[in-house]
A and B are shown apart, each in its own frame.
Chain A
Amino acid sequence: GIQVEQSPPDLILQEGANSTLRCNFSDSVNNLQWFHQNPWGQLINLFYIPSGTKQNGRLSATTVATERYSLLYISSSQTTDSGVYFCAVVRGGNEKLTFGTGTRLTIIP
Chain B
Amino acid sequence: GAVVSQHPSWVICKSGTSVKIECRSLDFQATTMFWYRQFPKQSLMLMATSNEGSKATYEQGVEKDKFLINHASLTLSTLTVTSAHPEDSSFYICSARRTGENTGELFFGEGSRLTVL
Min distance, Cβ B23 to any Cβ of chain A, angstroms: 13
Cβ < 8 Å to A, chain B residues 77-98: 91, 93, 95, 97
A-side interface mostly: strand
A-binding residues in B (CB < 8 A):
1, 32, 34, 36, 38, 43-46, 49, 91, 93, 95, 97, 102-108, 110-111, 113
Query: Would A99 and B110 count as touching, CB distance under 8 A?
Result: no
**CB-defined A-B contacts under 8 Å, sample of 22:** A31-B103, A31-B104, A33-B105, A33-B106, A40-B110, A40-B111, A41-B91, A41-B111, A42-B111, A43-B93, A43-B108, A45-B1, A45-B105, A45-B107, A48-B104, A86-B44, A94-B103, A96-B46, A97-B95, A98-B46, A100-B43, A102-B43
Chain A: how many interface residues by the 8 Å CB criterion? 22
Contact in complex: B113, A41 (CB < 8 Å): yes
Q: How would residues 38 to 67 of chain A score, 1 for a CB under 8 Å from any chain B CB and 0 otherwise?
A: 001111010010000000000000000000
* A90 close to chain B: CB less than 8 A: yes
Q: Contact check, B108 vs A95: say whether CB atoms are below 8 A apart.
A: no
